[in-house]
Amino acid sequence: MDAHKKQEPLWRTSTVFISSTFQDMQQERDWLKNHVFPRLEEELRKNYRLFVPVDLRLGIDTSRKLTDEDRELLVLKVCLNEVERARPYLIVLLGDRYGTVPPEERIATATQEAGFAVDGPGRSVTALEIECGLSRRPNGEPARCFLYFRDTLPYGGMLPETAARFSDAHATDPGAPHRVASLARLKTRLTQDEELQPRIRRYAAGWDSNLQRVKGLEAFGERVFADLLDELQTPDANPLVGSTPMAEDRAALRAFVELGSEGFVGREELTRDILDLAHSAPEGREPWGACVVGAAGSGKSALFAHVHRQLADDDSVLLLSQAGGLGQRSRCADMLVRWVEDLAAFLGLPAPATDPGQAELVYATFVPLLAAASR
């Protein structure tokens, strides 16, 4: 049993979904990713909050052999599932494009599985993300989203194909008039919602005629930063935080586990093997264990975080854990001091006074406590 898991978690994770059309909002998403989110993550960490933005711009794995219809349905399902996972936090970026409109049967299937209904045909993926994110709020629960509407760009100075990429009003395909009307209805519906009105922002962006892209997003970025920081920053009053040097190391480890296990998928067989080993009885007096190896970037840290999270929730397991390089103190003796505290708490004993600088004494204290806990 993890000696500290019965307490409230030291870290909180805030997952925020970013919804927008893709072709016309690349610069905004890049600005958020490169200039806003790193600052926001750094500020929120001071109050033991993890910030996890969900940006599906890089795509969804559709490498499996699927029909075009199944691939479109998979993309729509994943989008709505990610909106649900990030609930109640949502960022909406809207310009002059409505977005891709899936066939009605795929919309019906995806929204039914997501558990919400839409009124009227012809909704775009972006519109469905917005409606999913705003749906099913319990009575009295305030909206936790922000909507950013970009002012009209100087389309008159753009090449026709460029203007069509940024505005449905300049597109020439047969579906363009429907998208223009649908976008107008969507914006009207959002702006007329009294609860959402204080959360709607309008921003201006410049246009770089040489690079043919949006520019001048500094003010937009500052507003997003301020909005999210105010929304997500809730200091944690947990008495463990800052009470001892070891508490800070525990906090760092929990942050690593929370962030590393967020959205973990796959590795089912390997996870099962490790969990089975953790629950198995030793045979005789032979030592046993597992060592997972792999190249850098192969997912070892994510697997560690995923397995750690499951074992920490299991009352039949005594969990002593460490991730190398985390926290302010990463020497072996520092790790053992923390484990001594954990073992003493597990056994209901006062924590022995140990000094990481006296490594031999720390080891001599650790060994009998481990033996007692094992018995």
Q: Where are the domains of the chain?
A: 12-232
pLDDT at 71: 64
pLDDT at 237: 45
Contact criterion met (CB below 8 Å) for 16 and 228: yes
Tell me what the mean pLDDT of segment 105-132 comes to: 82
Q: Give the residue, 298 or 67, on which the prediction is more confident.
A: 298
Q: Which residue has the tokens 């499951």?
A: 310
Structure tokens at 329: 């103190």
Whole-angstrom Cα distance, residue 156 to residue 170? Answer: 10
pLDDT band at 239 (very low <50, low <70, confident <90, very high): very low
Q: Give the residue, 22 or 256, on which the prediction is more confident.
A: 22
* pLDDT-above-70 percentage for the chain: 82
Run of H or E residues at 65 = none
pLDDT at 150: 97
pLDDT at 137: 57
Q: Where are the beta strands (DSSP E) in 85-135?
A: 89-94
How much is the pTM?
0.67
Run of H or E residues at 174 = none
What average pLDDT does the structure give for the chain?
81
pLDDT at 50: 79
Q: What is the pLDDT of residues 212-223, one digit of tens each?
A: 899 999 999 999
pLDDT at 220: 97
pLDDT band at 148 (very low <50, low <70, confident <90, very high): very high
pLDDT band at 375 (very low <50, low <70, confident <90, very high): confident
pLDDT at 246: 67
Q: Is the confidence at residue 63, as pLDDT, over 90?
A: no
pLDDT band at 69 (very low <50, low <70, confident <90, very high): low
pLDDT band at 92 (very low <50, low <70, confident <90, very high): very high
Lowest mean pLDDT among 46-50, 51-55, 204-208, 215-219: 46-50
Whole-angstrom Cα distance, residue 75 to residue 22? Answer: 14
pLDDT at 116: 75
Peptide bond connecting 88 to the previous residue in cis, omega within 30 degrees of 0: yes
CATH 2.60.40 fits 12-232, yes or no: no
Q: Is the confidence at residue 347, as pLDDT, over 70?
A: yes
pLDDT at 241: 47
Instruction: From 88, 87, 93, 89, select the one nearest 221 (Cα to Cα).
Output: 93
Using DSSP's 3-state secondary structure scheme, residue 158 falls into coil
CB atoms inside a 10 Å sphere around CB 325: 8
Whole-angstrom Cα distance, residue 55 to residue 74? Answer: 17
Tell me what the mean pLDDT of segment 247-273 comes to: 76
Whole-angstrom Cα distance, residue 351 to residue 342? Answer: 8
Structure tokens at 217: 């997003």
What φ, ψ does residue 162 adopt, rounded to 5°?
-70, -45
Q: Name residues whose C-beta falls within 8 Å of residue 341's C-beta, 6 or more positions apart in sequence.
A: 3, 246, 351
pLDDT at 6: 42
In degrees, to the nearest 5, what angle opens at C-alpha 238 toward C-alphas 236 and 239?
135
Whole-angstrom Cα distance, residue 215 to residue 238? Answer: 43
Lowest mean pLDDT among 127-136, 214-223, 321-330, 348-357: 321-330
